[in-house]
Amino acid sequence: MTRLVIAGGGFAGFWAAAAAARLRSDVPALASLEIVLISREDQLVIRPRLYEANPSQMSVPLIPRLEAIGVRFERGEISSVDVGGAKVWCAATSISYDRLVLATGSELARPSESVDGHGFDIDTLAGASALDRHLRGLTARPESEGRWTVVIVGGGFTGIELATALPERLRDLGSASAIRVVMVDIADRIGASLGDGPNAAIHNALTAAGIETRTGVTIASTDSQGVTLSSGERIVCQTLVWTTGMRASPLAAKISTRTDGLGRIAVTPELRLVGNGAGINHVFAAGDVAHAAADRDHAILQSCQHAQVTGRFAGYNAAADLAGLPFQTYRQPLYTTCLDLGHSGAVLTKGWDRTVEATGEIAKTIKRRINTQLIYPPADREAILAAASPAVMDEVMFRSRILAMTK
């Protein structure tokens, strides 16, 4: 019996397992293939929704879905991968493999200023739940300076979605005091990493929500009462949140020295690891841990959108390799984003130049359906396998599947 191991239970890992199971069901030579998914959690966390209220509800059970498609689940914290020996280690226990898909994701890139333990994050379900409990607990605190002040460090996608959601979340908690949300970023404007296209929509949304910004500065120090900026400004706050971007799982650097600035491991167009070492060609990578080319000029981003698709390709190719079948070459030239802007709706963009396709309530309708429907994996066997094909969104699919949501 041959074994394909999927390391990681996020979007990339789940869809890698599903794509391999789909190919196994179609190819008699793979009938005896054992597919094993290893993850420390038996839940698939809906990470793109962790900026919302009630984050404890933002997950779906993994095990029933894996059982439906004949994939074995193993709970464990992966400590290392022995590529030469073809083993995955979880503490003192190892699991051997014939092919491996590394899909261990990413983690918050906390700056050195946060090592003193001050501040929350929404990088994980546990982190988002801790912030949610903290916000709810503010109502029981005595009125004091900074009680309803939130400082968010990081002005990218996650920071913007959290910032624009917070005023309503805090009002829903019964705050009768003035709510103050301050975004801090080293760039010259909030949302600079998202390009020029959505800039006006972001600026207008922040202004409408009364969100303050401090740009071109960093955090010089933090304490339990607030933060001090590199400009010397002191902001008293009882809530500090880090949304300072992500870095790939440290496992990538333990497997290969060919990593990029985000710690992502280099892969071929088939998502196989680049290199000539023993066993390296038996390992594939997908999602936030992989530096994969979306097209000739762009590498994929650490996003749910790219994790799902690269997961499908990596899982398919790993299983195809065992059966001696041709690989599917991954390319994803059409990139889209839909950024939630709280009461100002949302902004939908298309392409790497972030051309705005919709704003306001029209875009908000699309965002809700993406967040509550499209990114959720189905539970039924046939539906999972049908959705596991290694295919990418093109212009026709974008217009029929995304833009059609407003009709």
Q: What is the pLDDT of residues 230-273, one digit of tens each?
A: 999 999 999 999 999 999 999 999 999 999 999 999 999 999 99
Residues pairing with 348 in the sheet: 338, 358
CA distances to 82, 266, 393, 404 from 399, rounded to whole Å, are 44, 32, 10, 6
Listing DSSP states for 124-170 in one string gives SHHHHHHHHHHHHHGGGSPP-TTTTEEEEE--SHHHHHHHHHHHHHH
Least confident of 94-103, 153-162, 274-283: 274-283
Q: Is residue 381 part of a domain?
A: no
* β-bridge mates for residue 350, sequence order: 336, 355
What lies within 8 Å, CB to CB, of 399 at 6+ separation is: none
**Residue 382: inside a domain:** no
User: Model confidence over 110-143: pLDDT tens digits?
Assistant: 886 555 678 999 999 999 999 999 999 999 999 8
Residue 113 has a pLDDT of 56
**What are the distances in angstroms from CA 268 to CA 148, 265, 318?**
49, 10, 13
Same domain, 137 and 169: yes
Within 10 angstroms of residue 166's Cβ, the number of other Cβ atoms is 24
Calpha distance 89→83 (Å, rounded): 11
- In contact, 78 and 251? CB cutoff 8 Å: yes
Predicted local distance difference test score (pLDDT) of residue 230: 95
pLDDT tens-digit profile of 184-214? 999 999 999 999 999 999 999 999 999 999 9
Instruction: Provide the percentage of residues in the chain whose pLDDT is more than 70.
Output: 98
Domain co-membership, 236 together with 175? yes
More confident residue, 152 or 275: 152
pLDDT confidence of residue 11: 98
Is residue 71 within 8 Å of 101, Cβ to Cβ?
A: no
The three-point CA angle 363-368-370 to 5° equals 90
CB 98 within 8 A of CB 282: yes
Please tell me the predicted confidence (pLDDT) of residue 68: 98
- Number of Cβ within 10 Å of residue 207's Cβ equals 11
Whether 407 has a pLDDT exceeding 70, the answer reads no
- Mean pLDDT value of segment 71-97: 95
Tokens of 61: 């059970």
At 379, is the pLDDT very low, low, confident or very high (cuts 50, 70, 90)? very high
Q: Mark whether 161 and 195 lie in a shared domain.
A: yes
Q: Residues 31, 97: one domain?
A: yes
Mean pLDDT of 323-348: 96
**Alpha carbon 33 to its chain's center:** 29
CATH number, residue 207? 3.50.50.60
- Mean pLDDT, rounded, of the chain: 94
Q: Kindly provide the b/e burial profile for residues 81-94, where b requires at least 16 CB atoms within 10 angstroms of the residue's own CB.
A: bebeebbbbbeeeb
Q: Residue 248, exposed/middle/buried by CB under 10 A (0-12, 13-18, 19+)?
A: buried
Distances from the Cα of 52 to the Cα of 106, 163, 166, 277, angstroms: 20, 10, 8, 44
79 lies in the same domain as 118: no
Last residue of one domain, picked from the residues 311, 333, 355: 333
CB 84 within 8 Å of CB 278: yes
118 and 213 fall within a common domain: yes
- Domain check: are 279 and 173 in the same one? no
Query: Quick check: is 222 in a domain?
Result: yes
- Position 7: which residue type? A
Q: Would you place residue 84 in the very low, low, confident or very high pLDDT band (cuts 50, 70, 90)?
A: very high
44/99 same-domain check: yes
338 lies in some domain? no
The answer to whether 99 and 19 have CB atoms below 8 angstroms apart is: no
Look at residue 403 in the predicted model and tell me its pLDDT: 75
Cα distance from N-terminal residue to C-terminal residue, the chain = 50
Residue 323 lies in a domain: yes
Instruction: For residue 94, give both structure tokens.
Output: 């190892």
Task: Specify the length of the chain in residues.
Answer: 407
pLDDT in the model for residue 291: 98
Give the pLDDT confidence score for residue 308 in this predicted structure: 96
If phi > 0 it is left, if psi is from -120 to 50 it is alpha, else beta; for residue 105 that is left
Residues 237 and 319 in one domain: no
Contact call for residues 155 and 190 (beta carbons, < 8 A)? yes
Is 99 within the bounds of a domain?
Answer: yes
Residue 367 belongs to a domain: no
Cα separation, 147 vs 300, whole angstroms = 39
- Same domain as 270, residue 231: no
Residue where a domain terminates, one of 300, 315, 333 = 333
What's the domain count of the chain? 2
**What local confidence, expressed as pLDDT, does residue 363 receive?**
96
The predicted-structure confidence for 15-56, as pLDDT tens digits, reads as follows: 999 999 999 999 999 999 999 999 999 999 999 999 999 999
Specify whether 238 is located in the same domain as 328: no
Q: Domain end: 219, 242, 265, which one?
A: 242
Examine the domain organization and report whether 251 and 169 are in the same domain.
no
Structure tokens at 201: 């929509």
Give the whole-angstrom CA distance, residue 302 versus residue 305.
8
Specify the residue for token string 């699991």: 95
Q: How far, in Å, CA of 14 to CA of 302, rounded?
A: 16
Residues 6+ apart with CB under 8 A from 229: 184, 214, 217, 218, 219, 220, 235
339 is a domain residue: no
Domain, as residue range, for 65: 3-107+246-333
